[in-house]
Amino acid sequence: MADVGETPSSFKRLAFLSSGTREADEARQRLVAKYGDAPPEDADCIVALGGDGLMLRTLHRFMGARKPIYGMNRGSVGFLMNEYREANLRKRIAGAKPSIIHPLLLRATNTHGDEFTAHAINEVSLLRQSSQIAKIRILVNGQERMPELVTDGVLVATPAGSTAYNLSANGPILPLDAPLMALTPISAFRPRRWRGALLPDVAKVRLEVQEAEKRPVSVVADHDEFRDALHVDVEMDHATELVLLHDPGHSLEERILREQFG
């Protein structure tokens, strides 16, 4: 039964997903008893209970479905999540601010000729997979921009992902509505002082692994890893929209802005 004072909304059918921890499972049981539980494919909104890892998995699972996703923190990291509260949930969801996110589209070929395709909400990263440092050629829109980056790795990040691995690699924080992608080196050796680049979000980036047999490199799209990469193409998939819901005053845009001021 809905809480007293809760207003009707378009979010009548809620689906609750748990990260699988005891804390998240217990929260799901209480919320299901209070609000019911619709099948995810029939739900008006999906409520994810866990941390940012669960949110990313949920976004991937329902990519292309345009279902709004409202997360509540029952995990260790909750940058993408709202504060956990059980009361007036439908009213909170109805008043939440939507954030529209476009993922990156990855197309990769490995040294064996196998081809891979994946989406990334945070970033696509290339990482050396042996003791040998990686050598990577960078092209943007078909034009060579760097003939050889000698590095532990390099990544392309979305604005939503700019506060994740990209920030740990000293990349720039991007406003959520900025039409940009961040291209950020990971422990670059040469050029030693290259800090990366900001690219328009319509750019097409190609990363070519040099001496791939001697210096093997893996490519990771969020949680999906492909080994022995030869060349990797990355672009923003503007045709795919993901909808995150956040409480007023705690939108993803506001959180990204706060990160820039500590």
Of the candidates 4, 3, 92, 103, which has an alpha carbon nearest to the alpha carbon of residue 45? 92
Q: So what's the pLDDT on residue 9?
A: 53
Contact 178/202 with Cβ under 8 angstroms? no
Q: What is the pLDDT along the chain (262 residues), one digit of tens a residue?
A: 344 444 445 789 999 999 999 999 999 999 999 999 999 999 999 999 999 999 999 999 999 888 999 999 998 777 889 999 999 999 999 999 999 999 999 999 999 999 999 999 999 999 999 999 999 999 999 999 999 999 999 999 999 999 999 999 999 999 888 999 999 999 999 998 899 999 999 999 999 999 999 999 999 999 899 999 999 999 999 999 999 999 997 777 787 777 778 6
Of the candidates 177, 157, 174, which has an alpha carbon nearest to the alpha carbon of residue 100? 177
The annotated binding site for NAD(+) is made up of 52-53, 57, 122-123, 152, 160, 163-168
The DSSP H or E segment spanning 156 is strand 143-157
Q: Is the C-alpha dihedral spanning 250, 171, 152, 161 positive or negative?
A: positive
What is the number of helices (H) and of strands (E) in the chain? Answer: 5, 16
The annotated binding site is made up of 52-53, 57, 122-123, 152, 160, 163-168
Question: Active-site positions?
Answer: 52
For CATH 3.40.50.10330, the residue range(s) in the chain are 14-101+241-259
Q: State which fold the 104-236 domain adopts.
A: Tumour Suppressor Smad4 (2.60.200)
CATH code of the domain made up of 14-101+241-259: 3.40.50.10330
- 80 DSSP assignment: T
Q: Which residue has the tokens 């891979």?
A: 116
For CATH 2.60.200.30, the residue range(s) in the chain are 104-236
